[in-house]
Amino acid sequence: MARVFCGLSGGVDSALAAALLVEAGHDVTAVYMRNWSRDLPGFKCPWARELADAERVAVTLGIDLEVWDCEAEYKATVVDYLVDAYAHGYTPNPDVMCNQTVKFGTFLERALAAGADFVATGHYGRVERGEGGRVRLLRALDEHKDQTYFLWRVSEDALARTLLPVGEIRDKAEVRRMCAERGLGVENKPDSDGICFVGPVGIRAFLLDSLERRAGDVVEWETGRVLGRHDGAFLFTVGQRRGLDLGGGPARYVVDTDVEKNVVYVTADHDSPALFMREIALDDTCWISGEAPESGRYLVRTRHTGELCEAELDGCVLRFGEPVRRVAPGQSAVLYDGVRCLGGGIVQK
């Protein structure tokens, strides 16, 4: 029996994680991390409702629920980072930062200080404890739900103190069924997708709440012709199709943005070479084991649950055999050796 602090978000996955830990005989304390409670125009932050659901799970399981205020850390390391990255023309993954600094940062530290042996979350991933105390992160059994793409910046030391019970379950339907069997009352909640703190309002409205609008040109990549205007190059991401107000014509895709000159480059050609690339330069790399993997062939993922492509790692550069769709700078490129997540880096411009 271990003393486990389990993050309980009010959702299905963490509810089952807590239930499984209780059933395994652990001494479980549930923690609701209040990371963000700000309402946006047209979006009331649902934290109180989520907390009520978390509480229902805790009462059903007969365990304590504590509410930990992580708003300061979350604002500094996730929200401010996100806004700053967008302002500089990057498209960041806030979930990656949240996992590194809040869930497996602040939460883990505070739990250990409170006497925890382990922390647990409802993430889809598996922690394998090998010989000699080495710990490895593996993709979840449910490949469709695997969340290791968001966990690549979590260190081995943190993983050594982490339990991810849901990663061992074959599929999400099974997770819902197991929640229903246990009467946890959350089994019918929809999956939460996207950035939690902007909700259905979307990242655009959130950014416009934080950054100044700035009118600029939408320029055709091939010809340099001005096709229309936009209200801030920082609002656009490579590959984006929607949100370009060009008054009809063919669908156009963002090829590139230049936040200095405030220009958005677009193309009508979905197969334009400008939308593809053969290599990615990585920055801010992070390796779970603490050591960079040797140069060689690995599986790479550049999008949550996206295709695993083969690529050659050469120092901080990834080379693909075939051209692949361009990845927006700021996104994560995560490397795998088979099912094992090695770590990764941030895609450069």
Partner 1 sequence: MTHGEKNEAPMREVYLDYAAATPVDPEVAEAMLPYLTERFWNPSAPYARAREVRDDVERARGTVARLIGARPDCLTFTAGATEANNLAFAAVEGHVVVDAIEHESVLACAGTHARRTVRVGADGIVDAAAVARAIRPDTELVSVELANGEIGCVQPVREISRVVATERARRLEAGEDTPIYLHSDASQAAGALSVNVATLGVDLLTLSAAKIYGPKQVGVLWASEDVRLRPLVYGGGQEGGVRSGTENVAGVVGFARALELACERRGEEGRRLAGLRERLREGLLARVPSMVVTGPKSPKRRLPGLLHVSFAGVEARRLVIALERAGVSVGTGSACAASRMRVSHVLEAIGMPRELAEGSLRLTLGRGTTEEDVDYAVEAIADAVRAEMARVGTDAAAMAALAGGWGRR
Min dist. Cβ of residue 280 to partner 1 (A) = 45
Phi, psi of 67 (to 5 degrees): -105, 120
Question: Segment near partner 1 (CB under 8 A), from 54-62, 92-100, 209-217, 294-302?
Answer: 54-62
Min dist. Cβ of residue 7 to partner 1 (A) = 18
Terminus-to-terminus CA distance in the chain, angstroms?
A: 48
Min dist. Cβ of residue 56 to partner 1 (A) = 5
Neighbours of 287 (CB within 10 A): 17
Min dist. Cβ of residue 27 to partner 1 (A) = 13
Which of 27, 55, 71, 168 touches partner 1 by CB under 8 A?
55
Q: Is 9 annotated as a binding residue?
A: yes
| Residue 130 Cα to chain centre, angstroms | 26
| Residue of 6, 70, 98, 286 marked catalytic | 98
Q: Given its phi and psi angles, is residue 64 left (phi above 0), alpha (psi -120 to 50 degrees) or beta?
A: beta
Beta-strand (E) ranges in the chain?
3-7, 27-34, 64-69, 118-120, 126-129, 135-138, 162-163, 216-220, 226-230, 253-258, 263-267, 276-287, 296-301, 309-314, 317-325, 332-337, 340-347
Helix axes of 80-87 and 202-210: crossing angle, nearest 10 degrees = 90
Would you count residue 296 as binding partner 1 (CB under 8 A)? no
- For residues 239 and 253, the answer to whether their CB atoms sit within 8 Å is yes
Question: Segment near partner 1 (CB under 8 A), from 43-51, 118-126, 212-220, 234-242?
Answer: 43-51
Question: Segment near partner 1 (CB under 8 A), from 50-58, 236-244, 285-293, 296-304?
Answer: 50-58
Question: Segment near partner 1 (CB under 8 A), from 59-67, 104-112, 153-161, 249-257?
Answer: 59-67
Would you count residue 138 as binding partner 1 (CB under 8 A)? no
Q: Is 248 annotated as a binding residue?
A: no
Which of 62, 190, 247, 338 touches partner 1 by CB under 8 A?
62
Per-residue exposure over 211-245, b if at least 16 CB sit within 10 Å of its own CB, e if not: eeeeebbbbbbeeeeebbebbbbbbbbbebeeebe
| Residue of 6, 70, 196, 286 marked catalytic | 196
Would you count residue 183 as binding partner 1 (CB under 8 A)? yes
Would you count residue 24 as binding partner 1 (CB under 8 A)? no
Would you count residue 56 as binding partner 1 (CB under 8 A)? yes
CA dist., res. 344 & res. 286, Å (int): 6
Please confirm, yes or no, whether 6 is among the known catalytic residues. Answer: no
Of all helices (H) and strands (E), which one includes residue 81? helix 80-87
Please confirm, yes or no, whether 98 is among the known catalytic residues. Answer: yes
Which of 38, 39, 59, 307 touches partner 1 by CB under 8 A?
59
- For residues 8 and 54, the answer to whether their CB atoms sit within 8 Å is yes
Residues in the annotated binding site for ATP: 7-14, 33, 122
Positions in the binding site for partner 1 (CB under 8 A)? 48-49, 51-52, 55-56, 58-60, 62, 181-183
| Catalytically annotated residues | 98, 196
The binding site comprises 7-14, 33, 122
